[in-house]
Amino acid sequence: MADDSQRNFRSVYYEKVGFRGVEEKKSLEILLKDDRLDIEKLCTFSQRFPLPSMYRILVWKVLLGIIPPHHESHALVMKYRKEQYWDIHHALREPEDEVFLAIAKAMEEMVEDPIECYWLVSCFVNQLNSKHKDSLQQLPKILEQYLNIEDNRLLMHLKACAAMSKLPYDLWFKKCFAGCLPESSLQRVWDKVISGSCKILVFVALEILLTFKMKIIALNTAEKITQFLENIPQDNTDAIVSKAVDLWRTHCGTPAHSV
């Protein structure tokens, strides 16, 4: 009886101070003692308890043993954490998976530790899908507004070619330039997004258009323009990002008002 009282007091105390690790530890240890890991049990565990940070590495390694390596594994673990049950062979065919994979692949070039990489990617994507979800949908229209201010002639050319609606907005805005900019330049852009301003994405896109203005004007179809913008030269992207940050500050003022 004394043991039960002591255990109950300890559990209540831990919950009061915000650390719910006692029961989680017991449940996880029991789960991991099974001869064969049951994925449904693992998902049930994640439904019952929030994942304590001290067990993130352990759970990651468990999942890593049954799923493909590298950035694809990040997307798959994310789906397990969402308690989605699906055929693993058809797991990465949703549109949001393509975005996740692009961001994860770029993040792998920035972060050596795969566990850190996963948590950074998942938090980053969650931020995009929650805080910035509505704002991201407005970015194409905002880009047109600023392009009209910076270079009306270029805007008129893009409209004449019916290219404004076909610019690579998914690559620029949904994927946050993952797969478009090299990682050294991408980090500076993502720093701004993480700090709260997704509008920096507009100014990076704007500066890309301004930088390659002469090339774009020489192209006369939307398809050719889009194809070029999806594969821009990589030799001066740091300069493009620097100019984009300057434009962002000029038009949006202080970072606190740049969201």
Q: What share of the chain is helix, strand, coil (3-state, %, to 5)?
A: 75, 0, 25
**C-alpha pair distances (Å), 207 with each of 31, 45, 145, 211, 236:** 52, 47, 14, 6, 12
The pLDDT value given to residue 120: 85
CA angle 112, 116, 120 (to 5 degrees): 110
What phi, psi does 181 have (nearest 5°)? -105, 150
**CA–CA gap between residue 206 and residue 201 (Å, rounded):** 9
Contact (CB, 8 A) for 199 and 142: yes
**CA–CA gap between residue 111 and residue 101 (Å, rounded):** 15
Calculate mean pLDDT across residues 20-35: 52
**Stronger pLDDT, 132 or 56, i.e. the higher one:** 132
**CA–CA gap between residue 146 and residue 149 (Å, rounded):** 5
Name the pTM for this structure.
Answer: 0.68
User: Which two tokens mark 131?
Assistant: 């805080």
Q: How confident is the model at residue 52 (pLDDT cuts 50, 70, 90)?
A: low
User: What are the tens digits of pLDDT across the range 106-127?
Assistant: 988 888 887 788 778 888 888 8
3-state secondary structure of 181: strand
Among the listed residues 57, 95, 63, 62, the one whose alpha carbon sits nearest the alpha carbon of residue 76: 63
Question: DSSP E strands: which ranges in the chain?
Answer: none
The pLDDT value given to residue 218: 96
Contact (CB, 8 A) for 165 and 227: no
User: Which amino acid is it at 91?
Assistant: A
* Domains of the chain, first to last: 40-105 (no CATH), 131-257 (1.10.472.80)
**CA–CA gap between residue 105 and residue 20 (Å, rounded):** 33
User: What are the tens digits of pLDDT across the range 195-242?
Assistant: 888 999 999 999 999 999 999 999 999 999 999 999 999 989 999 999
Residue 2 has pLDDT above 60, yes or no: no
Residue 133 has pLDDT above 80, yes or no: yes
Residue 48 has pLDDT above 80, yes or no: no
User: What are the tens digits of pLDDT across the range 141-190?
Assistant: 999 999 999 999 999 999 999 999 999 999 999 999 999 999 989 999 99
Q: Find the radius of gyration of the CA atoms of the chain.
A: 23
